[in-house]
Amino acid sequence: MDFIGRRLVIAVLTLFLVSVLTFAAFAVIPGDPASLMLGTEATDEQLAALRKELGLDRSLPEQYVAWLGRFLSGSLGNSTRFRGASITGLVFERLPVTFALATLSLIAIFLIATPVALLSVKEHSPIDRIVNTLTTISISAPGFFLGVLFIWVFGLILRCFVPGNYVSYKEDLGAFLGYLVFPALAIALPNAAIVIKFLRGSIFQQLRNDYVRTAYSKGATRRLVLYRHVLKNAVIPALTLMGMIVGDVFSGSIVIEQVFTIPGLGRLLIASISSRDYPLIQTLVVYIACIVVLANTLVDIAIQIIDPRIRVK
């Protein structure tokens, strides 16, 4: 429990630092949100009134405390890009889409990486060479390139899906998940290749340990040693890597949502950046940071549960 408490405290402090840096970064960027909202024809009186309404006439520490209070309460005001639309409503409307895409990507990473790594544990075998070559190619291919390639091959040639024909989860959950399969694979393949290389290396290292030779001397088969003993120890470093990959998955979804025209947080972030919607950008950056920090904290806790002998600091 002490370990979990320390990890939660570190997570909270990390998010606090992220919020401070995010607010400070957008506070020093040139540009006046009031001018962007009212346009170039607004009078000085209208600009002054709107700045007072938005709290822009206060000092930066006061603005930060007010913004943090609104963020924690879920009352973040309205977007300057989507006139009259609540920032909280915009975020939570698109959060399930990005969360579903990220979840499918992580599931695909696990389903691809684990069996492939186990199939190629015999060094210098033909399968080992093939896996090594394919993973190197996958790591080198950017997610957006794979997305365009999937649209061309599976969308336009094989007609497995209709590019741009996104279906909301509110209308048809099955069609919604079906449309996300190829975007999820575009995000998953490069990350799965990294996990495969990492997990294979960890398995090879474990196979050289004394406890493996002891198990063989007691008559255990290679399959039994691999699945019962080696995999449990080899998966711990891979779990640490998965915590970092969560951040790559969410950052990758920003581009993939543009490629496949998926209305998630990534596409919303691009739209808010192009229109300098600073309140919405700040909210999205902190929300994504919350997800990444939470994922890494849960991974550290899971590692401690799997093997209590490990002390993650």
**Beta-strand runs (E) in the chain:** none
Whole-angstrom distance, CA of residue 53 vs CA of residue 220:
73
Share of the chain above pLDDT 90, in %: 23
For the chain, first and last CA: distance in Å?
A: 14
Across the range 45-71, mean pLDDT stands at 80
Nearest to 113 by CA among 180, 191, 52, 35: 191
Q: Give domain limits for the chain.
A: 87-306
Across the range 147-153, mean pLDDT stands at 94
Whole-angstrom distance, CA of residue 122 vs CA of residue 58:
65
Where residue 83 falls (left for φ over 0; alpha for ψ -120 to 50; beta otherwise) is beta
Q: Residue 125: which pLDDT band, with cuts at 50, 70 and 90? A: confident
**pLDDT at position 109, please?**
93
Averaged confidence pLDDT in the chain:
84
Whole-angstrom distance, CA of residue 293 vs CA of residue 243:
9
By mean pLDDT, which of 10-19, 82-91, 191-200, 201-210 is the weakest? 82-91
**pLDDT at position 61, please?**
87
Q: Cα-Cα-Cα-Cα dihedral of 92, 96, 98, 101, to 10°? A: 180
Whole-angstrom distance, CA of residue 166 vs CA of residue 279:
28
Whole-angstrom distance, CA of residue 91 vs CA of residue 16:
20
Q: Residue 32: which pLDDT band, with cuts at 50, 70 and 90? A: low
**pLDDT at position 309, please?**
64
**pLDDT at position 30, please?**
67
Whole-angstrom distance, CA of residue 90 vs CA of residue 39:
23
Does the pLDDT value for residue 270 go beyond 70?
Answer: yes
Does the pLDDT value for residue 177 go beyond 90?
Answer: yes
Helix H or strand E encompassing 208: none
**pLDDT at position 39, please?**
67
Contacts with 34 (C-beta within 8 Å, 6 or more apart), sequence order: 42, 47, 50, 51, 54, 56
**pLDDT at position 310, please?**
61
Instruction: Report the predicted TM-score, pTM, of the whole model to 2 decimal places.
Output: 0.84
By mean pLDDT, which of 121-125, 179-183, 214-218, 263-267 is the weakest? 121-125
**pLDDT at position 192, please?**
92
SS3 per residue for 127-183: HHHHHHHHHHHHHHCCHHHHHHHHHHHHHHHCCCCCCCCCCCCCCCHHHHHHHHHHH
Does the pLDDT value for residue 47 go beyond 90?
Answer: no
**pLDDT at position 13, please?**
92
Nearest to 183 by CA among 284, 72, 268, 98: 98
Contacts with 282 (C-beta within 8 Å, 6 or more apart), sequence order: 22, 23, 26, 67
Phi, psi dihedral angles at 78 (to 5 degrees): -110, 155
Any idea which residue has 């495969």 for tokens? 196
Contact of 125 with 211, CB cutoff 8 Å: no
Share of the chain above pLDDT 70, in %: 92
Q: Residue 218: which pLDDT band, with cuts at 50, 70 and 90? A: confident
Fold (topology level) of 87-306: MetI-like fold (1.10.3720)
**pLDDT at position 266, please?**
86
Q: Residue 297: which pLDDT band, with cuts at 50, 70 and 90? A: confident
Does the pLDDT value for residue 117 go beyond 80?
Answer: yes
**Beta-strand runs (E) in 77-140:** none
